Amino acid sequence: MPASDVQQRQVLIIGAGPSGAIAAALLKRKGHDVLIIERQLFPRFSIGESLLSHCIDFVEEAGMLPALEAAGFQYKNGAAFAWGEEYSAFDFGQTFSKGRPSTFQVQRARFDKLLADEAAAQGVEIRYEEEIIAADFERERPQVRVRREDGSEYQVEAQFVLDASGYGRVLPRLLDLEAPSSFPVRQAVFTHIEDRIDHPHFDRNKILITTHPEHRDIWFWTIPFSDGRCSLGVVAAAEHYADAPQDLDACLKGFVAQTPSLAKVLAKAVWDTPARTIGGYSANVKTLHGPGFALLGNAAEFLDPVFSSGVTIAMRSSSMAAAVLDRQLKGEAVDWEHEFATPLKRGVDTFRAYVEGWYNGSFQDVIYHPGSSPEIRAMIASILAGYAWDERNPFVSEPKRRLRMLAEICAREEA
């Protein structure tokens, strides 16, 4: 294609989801030219509906908080955990990090469109139903090939590309950056229901995480929305689905029926939406950046949905990348490894330690232990609220060692 037919832009962002919209708005507010290419048409369905408090920090930074607060999403002030007769709730207003005391539980179709629309209102150009099909980072300025919905194609040349494509993982696929995840393959089956919950122990202001009574590596999310509906899902390793019904609705209902405490909460629910499934979602990459690009959010790495960390990591990576890229575009020398990748990974690794602890049972032992001190609960609540980069918190600065020690103490007290 002749050089005259190549569109010239300063920053190209792949994907208009939360990480792409936040990064685009932050860069636009710094005076940069930003183009987003989005494969789908918004609104579109997505899971990851229970936001952590730390997310709101980045929504505010991007100038989108008034719109979010006016949208009528479900207020959320913490997380609750249930296992048989055991129940443990953590309040985001009582955290070591003294972060935001609340956040929201959102239907992602509406939420993602709100953020994208807010970015567009700030001057960001978004092209929907267009797909990146090739990328060349060998030249001085990165160049990508874009395919429109009608099948026609064009090229965009930019100074820098941010990949916020989420599960699409565009650049990891095109540049052979994908790496195997350390987590076993798990599958989620989920739906939206009219919940009709009137159970006295259910708090609509919190996500409810329920542990299967027999298999502690099986768990459920129940995320209430402001319209009387909720998102419900089960997560389990592949072997647990071996004897489950092939029909997804029957499969999900079967797992709920095996879990009496959750079945009681959902006793009056109306199952009116076909269930969906996603599997093998945990992912990793060889590098978070390279000449002319950086990877954001799920395009870089996705751990597991258990602590709703995905959107938080996505937004945190957007804020960090936008700050580094702003300086680079202004002519400053930057170090993407030490200013972006290394500090981002510290928080991701904190979440990773607690995800691993959840599945091996040690973190569940801590969560369900009745005798934890208020100080320790506040430190754990900080992580559950998303403040996994606050290294003043001992459970952030030394997550594996601290969790191991605490789990051992809880086990001894139980014995």
pTM above 0.85, yes or no: yes
For residue 372, the model assigns a pLDDT of 83
- Per residue in 334-391, pLDDT (tens digit) is 999 999 999 999 999 999 999 999 999 999 999 999 888 999 999 999 999 999 999 9
Tell me the CATH class for 186-279. Answer: alpha beta
Give me the pLDDT at residue 283, please.
75
Q: Count of CB atoms within 10 A of residue 52's CB? A: 28
Between 3.40.50.2300, 3.50.50.60, 3.20.20.140, 3.20.20.240, what CATH number should domain 3-73+103-180+282-346 receive?
3.50.50.60
Q: φ, ψ for residue 210 (rounded to 5)?
A: -115, 130
φ/ψ of residue 39, rounded to 5: -70, -35
Rounded Cα gap, residues 339 and 131, in angstroms: 30
Q: Are 162 and 11 in contact (CB under 8 A)?
A: yes
Rounded mean pLDDT of the chain?
A: 94
What DSSP element (H or E) covers 170?
Answer: helix 170-174
CA distances from 46 to 113, 224, 259 (A): 11, 16, 26
The pLDDT, as a whole number, for residue 379 is 96
Cα 254 to Cα 322: distance, rounded to the nearest angstrom: 45
Residue 306 has a pLDDT of 87
Among residues 255, 109, 276, 106, which one has the least CA distance to residue 191? 276
CA distance 221 to 183: 19
- At 267-296, the pLDDT tens digits run 999 999 999 998 876 778 899 999 999 999
pLDDT at 4: 54
Q: Given this chain, do its domains 3-73+103-180+282-346 and 186-279 carry the same CATH topology?
A: no
53-61 and 309-329 helices cross at what angle (nearest 10)? Answer: 30
Determine contact, residues 299/169, Cβ cutoff 8 Å.
yes
What phi, psi does 362 have (nearest 5°)?
A: -65, -40
Cis previous bond, 172, omega within 30:
no
Map residue 53 onto helix, strand or coil.
Answer: helix
Domain ranges of the chain: 3-73+103-180+282-346, 186-279, 361-414
Q: How far is CA 229 from CA 74, 110, 181, 204, 320, in A?
A: 10, 14, 33, 10, 35
Q: Which residues of the chain have pLDDT under 50?
A: 1
User: Is residue 318 within 8 Å of 297, Cβ to Cβ?
Assistant: yes
